[in-house]
């Protein structure tokens, strides 16, 4: 893996010990999510499988359910019906340990969500030390290695407000990777960035794909989704209306609504 400054990057860490590659890392079965006492359906009977070492891109208009799907997969939102499985274990079972599940899933949001009063190093090491029980010295060693690999080797002692948006988002990615997750969820991670900073963050995601990191990303970057994804899911009104390879979804969409969405994206110069 290489960063924007050409720094060589080693593997970000593969599957956690004991995780097999025989089945999907993440599986959603008939997942339904509503808000407002069930009046607003946000996800409608969503089925999804994410194979190991693949990238699944969720595309669709704002409000189509992409972010909600990711939040449900990380148990940040409670589903109303259906089931979600991580490496074959039903994590939506009421008996499941939600904290243990979240320790195996890294999440990066469009807002960086870095603690402004903490240094970059402390932001990255907080969860490994407090949640995973990693000793401070080991956690800091991991964090410095990640920062080096993401082109931020000299920024460990900085505070977030001293960094550019692209640098802050790379710190957020480093924080998510510090726990050596089995699965990485990325929610519109370039949405808050100036256009000139988007490329440096997308390079990191591209490099993580080359390393074999299993990822699900919600994105409005259609060209990037077409390039990096193994599977593309088009959501509309909380339904996975169409899914397939990038060539299938972008090149020969079957559904009229998908064609309409992509035409508008193309006319806007974003594909």
In the structure encoding, which two tokens stand for residue 151, read together? 């082109």
> Is 15 domain-assigned?
no
> Is 1 domain-assigned?
no
**Does 173 share its domain with 268?**
no
Question: What's the confidence (pLDDT) of residue 6?
Answer: 38
Domains of the chain: total: 2
> Is 16 domain-assigned?
no
> Is 258 domain-assigned?
yes
In the structure encoding, which two tokens stand for residue 131, read together? 């949640």
Sheet holding 40-50: strands in order across?
40-50, 26-35, 81-86, 89-90
Measured on CA atoms in the order 36, 29, 208, 196, is the torsion positive or negative?
Answer: negative
Last residue of a domain, one of 181, 208, 225: 181
Cα(128)–Cα(143) distance, integer angstroms: 10
Could you report the per-residue pLDDT of 112-161, keeping only the tens digit for each? 889 999 999 999 999 999 988 999 999 999 999 999 988 899 999 999 99
Last residue of a domain, one of 145, 161, 181: 181
**Does 188 share its domain with 270?**
yes
Predicted confidence band at 15 (pLDDT cuts at 50, 70, 90)? very low
Inform me whether the pLDDT recorded for 245 exceeds 80.
yes
Phi, psi of 243 (to 5 degrees): -145, 155
Q: For the chain, give the mean pLDDT.
A: 90
Question: What's the confidence (pLDDT) of residue 226?
Answer: 94
Could you report the per-residue pLDDT of 18-69, keeping only the tens digit for each? 455 579 999 999 999 999 876 899 999 999 999 999 999 999 999 999 999 9
- What is the largest distance, in Å, between two alpha-carbon atoms of the chain? 55
Last residue of a domain, one of 138, 164, 181: 181
Question: What's the confidence (pLDDT) of residue 19?
Answer: 53
CB of 11 within 8 A of CB of 213?
Answer: no
> What is the domain-level CATH number for residue 243?
3.40.50.300
Range of the domain at 161: 115-181
**Residue 161 to residues 76, 77, 123, 165, 167, Cα–Cα distance (Å):** 27, 30, 13, 9, 10
Strand 239-244 and strand 231-236: the pairing is: antiparallel
């Amino acid at each position: 893996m290489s960063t924007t400054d050409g720094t060589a990057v080693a593997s970000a860490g593969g599957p956690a010990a004991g995780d097999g590659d025989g089945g999907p890392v993440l599986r959603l079965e008939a997942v339904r999510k509503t808000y407002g006492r069930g009046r607003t359906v946000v996800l409608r009977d969503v089925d999804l499988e994410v194979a190991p070492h693949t990238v699944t891109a969720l595309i669709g208009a704002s409000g189509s359910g992409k972010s909600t799907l990711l939040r449900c997969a990380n148990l940040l939102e409670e589903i109303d019906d259906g089931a979600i499985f991580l490496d074959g274990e039903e994590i939506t079972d009421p008996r499941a340990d939600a904290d243990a599940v979240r320790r195996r899933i890294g999440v990066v949001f469009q807002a960086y969500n870095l603690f402004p009063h903490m240094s970059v190093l402390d932001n990255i090491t907080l969860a490994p030390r407090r949640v995973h029980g990693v000793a401070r010295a080991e956690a800091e060693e991991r964090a410095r290695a990640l920062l080096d690999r993401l082109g931020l080797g000299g920024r460990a002692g900085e505070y977030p407000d001293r960094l550019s948006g692209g640098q802050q988002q790379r710190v957020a990615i480093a924080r998510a990777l510090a726990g050596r997750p089995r699965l990485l969820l990325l929610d519109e991670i370039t949405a808050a960035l100036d256009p000139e900073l988007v490329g440096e963050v997308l390079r990191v995601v591209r490099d993580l794909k080359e390393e074999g990191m299993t990822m699900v990303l919600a994105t409005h970057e259609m060209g990037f989704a077409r390039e990096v994804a193994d599977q593309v899911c088009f959501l509309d009104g909380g339904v996975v209306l169409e899914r397939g390879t990038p060539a299938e979804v972008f090149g020969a969409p079957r559904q009229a609504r998908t064609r309409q969405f992509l035409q508008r994206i193309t006319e806007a110069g974003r594909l």
